[in-house]
């Protein structure tokens, strides 16, 4: 019998695609978030920064859980047609992509954006103290983000299967409302003809 060689995915091209996705998402979300945060009263602006931090933490939980979850428990649930089981299997099988998107793309954008907004708010609140206020605001946002992500990673590791199943059910519910296929494999294009 001949040895079958599996074609490995092109990691370089995948990295470029994720970098482009991060660039586009950052462009799309930065302007509205910055306009809202800097145009609202101080309390509303602080709430926007906290929401962005929490969004990054939640996506980080999903990214870590996808890499730690086990596929086996979801097969029995899928066989008995339990909601979210098929999506959970896909999340586990595509763990590297899920982790890259959730932790690196969304998580890093949320971290960068929350720090930038905090610095902008500090400059708006105390323009005379330009450097010190902005530095303290960024340091505070970094401390809160890292503290929350540290606690969240422990939760994601301990409850990985439950988190992935919950995300699978959410994705199925979204697909029931919106006609899109999240995490479904895309048909491969053949090279050179039909």
DSSP assignment of 113-181, as one string? HHHHHHHHHHHHH-GGGHHHHHHHHHHHHHHHHHHHHHHHHHHHHHTHHHHHHHHHHHHHHHHHHS---
**Backbone phi, then psi, for 153, in 5-degree steps?**
-65, -40
- Tokens read off for 121: 């708010």
- Say if 22 falls within a structural domain: no
pLDDT given for residue 186 in this prediction:
52
72 within 8 A of 85, measured Cβ to Cβ: no
Q: State which residues form the domain around 118.
A: 30-177
Tell me the residue length of the chain: 194
- Say if 9 falls within a structural domain: no
pLDDT given for residue 84 in this prediction:
84
pLDDT given for residue 36 in this prediction:
65
How does DSSP classify residue 193? Answer: -
- Say if 1 falls within a structural domain: no
pLDDT given for residue 57 in this prediction:
93
pLDDT given for residue 20 in this prediction:
78
139 within 8 A of 51, measured Cβ to Cβ: no
- Say if 190 falls within a structural domain: no
- Say if 152 falls within a structural domain: yes
From the CB of residue 46, how many other CB atoms can be counted at a distance below 10 Å?
Answer: 15
pLDDT given for residue 62 in this prediction:
95
Q: Residues 44, 147, 92, CA angle at the centre, nearest 5°?
A: 100
- Say if 21 falls within a structural domain: no
CA-to-CA distance for 84 and 172, rounded, in angstroms? 6
- Say if 19 falls within a structural domain: no
Tens digit of each residue's pLDDT (9 = 90 or more) over 72-100: 888 888 888 888 888 999 999 999 889 98
62 within 8 A of 94, measured Cβ to Cβ: no
From the CB of residue 128, how many other CB atoms can be counted at a distance below 10 Å?
Answer: 6
pLDDT given for residue 194 in this prediction:
47
Contacts of 81 (CB under 8 A, 6+ apart): none
Helical packing angle, 160-177 and 85-93, nearest 10°? 120
Those residues of the chain that have pLDDT short of 50 are: 1-2, 4-6, 187, 193-194
- Say if 16 falls within a structural domain: no
DSSP-based helix, strand, coil % in the chain, nearest 5? 80, 0, 20
Domains held by the chain: number: 1
């Amino acid at each position: 019998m001949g040895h079958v060689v599996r074609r490995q995915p092109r990691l370089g091209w995948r990295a470029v695609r994720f970098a482009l996705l991060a660039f586009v998402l950052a462009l799309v979300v930065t302007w509205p978030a910055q306009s809202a945060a800097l145009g609202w009263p101080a309390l509303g602006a602080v709430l926007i920064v906290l929401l962005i931090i929490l969004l990054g933490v939640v996506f980080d939980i999903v990214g870590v859980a996808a890499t730690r979850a086990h596929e086996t428990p979801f097969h029995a649930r899928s066989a008995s047609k339990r909601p979210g089981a098929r999506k959970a299997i896909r999340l586990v099988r595509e763990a590297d992509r899920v982790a890259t998107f959730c932790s690196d793309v969304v998580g890093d954008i949320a971290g960068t954006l929350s720090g930038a907004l905090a610095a902008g708010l500090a400059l708006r609140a105390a323009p005379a103290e330009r450097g010190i206020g902005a530095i303290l605001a960024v340091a505070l946002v970094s401390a809160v983000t890292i503290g929350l992500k540290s606690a969240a990673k422990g939760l994601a590791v301990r409850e990985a299967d439950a988190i992935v199943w919950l995300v699978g059910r959410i994705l199925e519910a979204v697909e029931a409302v919106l006609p899109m296929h999240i995490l479904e494999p895309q048909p491969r294009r053949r090279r050179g003809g039909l």
